[in-house]
Amino acid sequence: AWGFSGGQHVLKWGRCEAYAAVYPTVPDWVLNFSPLPSLSSPHRNLSAFPAAQSEHLQQKMSENGALPLRGKVLTVDTMNANVKKVDYAVRGPIVQRAVQIEKELKEVQGVKKPFEEVIKANIGDAHAMGQRPITFFRQVIALCTYPQLLDDNKFPEDAKNRARRILQSCGGNSIGAYTTSQGIDCVRHDVASYIQRRDGGIPSDPDNIYLTTGASDGIVTILKLLTAGEGRTRTGVMISIPQYPLYSASIAELGAVQINYYLNEEKCWSLDISELQRSLHAAREHCNPRVLCIINPGNPTGQVQSRQCIEDVIRFAAKENLFLMADEVYQDNVYAEGCEFHSFKKVLFEMGPEYSSKVELASFHSTSKCYMGECGFRGGYMEVINMDPEVKAQLTKLVSVRLCPPAPGQALMDLVVNSPQPGEPSYQTFMKERTAVLSALAEKAKLTEEILNTVPGISCNPVQGAMYSFPRITLPERAINEAKAKGQAPDMFYCMKLLEESGICLVPGSGFGQREGTYHFRMTILPPTDKLKIMLNKLKEFHQKFTQQYS
């Protein structure tokens, strides 16, 4: 005998005498569905099942006193299929295991481990690794939050002025009010001024600035606008390999097509236009490539692209009709000599009107990285250049549904673009703190490259910028085979063992993408210098041991 569950047209086999009374012989359409091993196993969603029949059946059963058996409405079979394709390695299984180990370490009676703490070098979270916030920024946000402090003479006048200016721009003079959906007016003006100063005077229109809930929010919003078409005309999005997996995750969630272009590991992760060409040409066979995403300075790779490269990319986007998305959240994180940050906006305009009046560009910045590390505030902005005015109206409409980005994050973004100036009371402390953070990062970038390059089987490109290293690891054949036998990516196998044996949490290169047959991991350079040295030396030991073990 069997029963069923209404609505979702799910059939479950089970006891149901009432049914037998209604249908003494089992109809063909029931026999055509295979029986399930047991009542408790997940039921198959038979979405092809005609609605009418099951309603009829449900009615018959109700009339005969049988309650419909109930399966879950929302199961992995019946949920949004695109969401299932989403992966985000930065917070994936290895991090879940790391969190579990941290809990185990806290247990008094827990299993003894060969290490005392987990070093979380998986995520670009500076404060979590001990970096201090910028005093001025926190003073202003505190003043905005609790304006009674404006009467407190412990706070410097420049901080108070910033706070008053922000509050005056807020509804009811409160950062608890909703802001306009595009973001607080005076903040957008300050962002535009910052961009103009940064880019040698090239004008920036506040109306092209949208404040966002972290850069991630802006990036997803633009990708969403661009996602259209079906089958061969489905939007294709070009993204570097390796990439920051927000891109792959969002492309999967939106059901767009991911188009990989490989950065050149042999040339310090630089970008070859010929590789862009190859990738685009191949993609045109099966989708409609419309977007080119570039992360500069790079995540996870840390390269800072040359000005020539940026010009070439712009020229390529212009020629191939690609919407350019420039992820520039690490714009202050440039360490290597000879490297310099060139914003896509600036280079575009310096290339003259043939390009600057045509190429559609969205540039992204954030409060999470650089010298601020204010990830938890979820502050960010995007500047849209040459966006079709009707599309821009659609964008404004779209962001209005979520009302506005968090006001404290907007205020923080204001301070980043409108930081203390020479002569202001807070200037010296500000510069001291900023310099300390950036020079520590530069030192750690060099240290990381140097130490890792002393390890046979680890090869580390210079960390020119950003806050990560993405070294290549050579894995013994035996290790690769053992991983594959377990159904695990070889670099995941490596990283899991590293975690279990040393407490170091990194993210395997497979989470970011890499050339077939190569293996990497991404580590942050964020732990304090002493701890970083310890970590790098433990890594060195582990790698040598691992290599020996599997040779």
Q: Considering the rule CB under 8 A, would residue 288 count as an interface residue with a second copy?
A: yes
| Residues of this chain, 489-508, that bind a second copy according to CB under 8 A | none
Distance of CA 430 to the CA centre of its chain: 29
Which candidate, 320, 83, 363, 113, places its Cα nearest to that of 219? Answer: 363
- Using CB under 8 A, pick the residue from 170, 187, 309, 334 that binds a second copy: 170
Query: Judged by CB under 8 A, which of 97, 138, 531, 540 binds a second copy?
Result: 138
In sequence order, what DSSP letters do the residues of 433-489 get, joined into one string? HHHHHHHHHHHHHHHHHHHHTTSTTEE-----BTTEE--EE---HHHHHHHHHTT--
Helix, strand, coil percent content, the chain, rounded in steps of 5: 45, 15, 40
Q: Please tell me the number of Cα atoms within 13 Å of 460 on its side-chain side.
A: 26
What the block records as the tokens of 80 is 């949004």
Residue 238: CB partners within 8 Å, gap ≥ 6? 259, 260, 261, 276, 279, 280, 283, 289, 291, 292, 293, 322
531 in contact with a second copy (CB under 8 A): no
Using the rule CB under 8 A, is 537 a contact of a second copy? Answer: no
Segment 443-482, which members bind a second copy (CB under 8 A)? none
Establish if 139 lies at the interface with a second copy (CB under 8 A).
Answer: yes
Task: Give the C-alpha separation, 146 to 95, whole Å.
Answer: 36
Give the bridge partners for 327, in sequence order: 295, 364
Q: Which of 171, 435, 474, 518 binds a second copy (CB under 8 A)?
A: 171
The nearer residue to a second copy, 386 or 488, going by C-beta atoms, is 386
Out of 13, 16, 61, 179, the residue judged to bind a second copy by CB under 8 A: 179
For a second copy, the binding residue among 386, 453, 459, 488 (CB under 8 A) is 386
Site membership for a second copy, residue 375 (CB under 8 A): yes
The verdict on 346 binding a second copy (CB under 8 A) reads no
Decide if 491 contacts 543 (C-beta within 8 A).
no
Rounded to the nearest whole angstrom, what is the least distance from the CB of residue 93 to a second copy in the complex?
10
300 forms part of the interface with a second copy (CB under 8 A): no
Q: Which is nearer to a second copy, 49 or 306 (CB)?
A: 49
Near a second copy by CB under 8 A: residue from 81, 273, 282, 436: 81
Give the span between the Cα atoms of 412 and 137, in whole angstroms. Answer: 7
Restricted to residues 13-72, the positions that interact with a second copy (CB under 8 A) are 47-48, 51, 55, 68, 70, 72
Is residue 436 within the footprint of a second copy (CB under 8 A)? no
Per DSSP, 6 falls in state: T
Nearest residue (CB) to a second copy, 291 versus 451: 291
Binding positions for a second copy, 85-114, rule CB under 8 A: 86-88, 90-92, 99
CA atoms within 13 A on the CB side of 393: 2
Judged by CB under 8 A, which of 15, 56, 197, 232 binds a second copy?
232
Q: Which is nearer to a second copy, 64 or 306 (CB)?
A: 64
Q: What Å distances lie between residue 303 and 171, 180, 446, CA to CA?
A: 42, 36, 13
Distance in Å, CB of 506 to a second copy, minimum:
17
From CA 173, how far away is CA 211, in angstroms rounded? 19
Side-chain half-sphere exposure of 250, counting CA atoms within 13 A: 23
- List the structure tokens of 457: 């089987």
Contact region with a second copy (CB under 8 A), list: 29-37, 131-139, 414-422, 440-448? 131-139
Q: Which is nearer to a second copy, 212 or 464 (CB)?
A: 212
Sort strands 119-120 and 235-241 into parallel, antiparallel or unpaired.
Answer: unpaired
Count of residues interacting with a second copy (CB under 8 A): 115
Stretch that binds a second copy, among 33-41, 142-150, 482-490, 496-504 (CB under 8 A): 142-150
Does residue 428 come out as left (phi exceeding 0), alpha (psi in the -120 to 50 range) or beta? alpha
Task: Among 26, 177, 273, 436, indicate the residue that binds a second copy (CB under 8 A).
Answer: 177
Find the shortest distance in angstroms from Cβ 545 to a second copy: 30
**Rounded Cα distance, 347 and 319, in Å:** 16
Question: Residue 47 or 454: which CB sits closer to a second copy?
Answer: 47
Q: Between 169 and 270, whose beta carbon lies closer to a second copy?
A: 169
Q: Which is nearer to a second copy, 27 or 176 (CB)?
A: 176
- Min dist. Cβ of residue 104 to a second copy (A): 16
Binding to a second copy (CB under 8 A) within 389-428 occurs at 390-391, 394, 397-398, 400-409
Within 201-220, which residues bind a second copy (CB under 8 A)?
A: 213-214, 216-217, 220
Supply the DSSP string of 387-444, one letter for each residue.
--HHHHHHHHHHHHTT----HHHHHHHHHHHS---TTSTTHHHHHHHHHHHHHHHHHH
Is the CB of 73 or the CB of 431 nearer to a second copy?
Answer: 73
Q: Return the range that interacts with a second copy (CB under 8 A); candidates 84-92, 105-113, 262-270, 470-478.
A: 84-92
Element of type H or E holding 197: helix 185-198
Query: What token pair was written down for 92?
Result: 């994936």
Tell me how many degrees the CA angle 237-241-243 measures, rounded to the nearest 5. Answer: 80
Give the span between the Cα atoms of 93 and 116, in whole angstroms. Answer: 21
Residue from the set 17, 63, 104, 152 that interacts with a second copy by CB under 8 A: 152
Which residue's CB is nearer to a second copy, number 8 or number 303?
8
Are 259 and 288 spatial neighbours (Cβ–Cβ below 8 Å)? Answer: no
Answer for the pair 221, 291: CB distance below 8 angstroms, yes or no: no
Rounded to a whole number of angstroms, the minimum distance from the CB of residue 209 to a second copy is 17
Binding mask 304-323 for a second copy (x = CB under 8 A): --------------xxxxxx
**Closer residue to a second copy in complex, CB, 6/457:** 6
Q: Counting contacts by CB under 8 A, is residue 174 touching a second copy?
A: yes
Residue 79 interacts with a second copy (CB under 8 A)?
yes
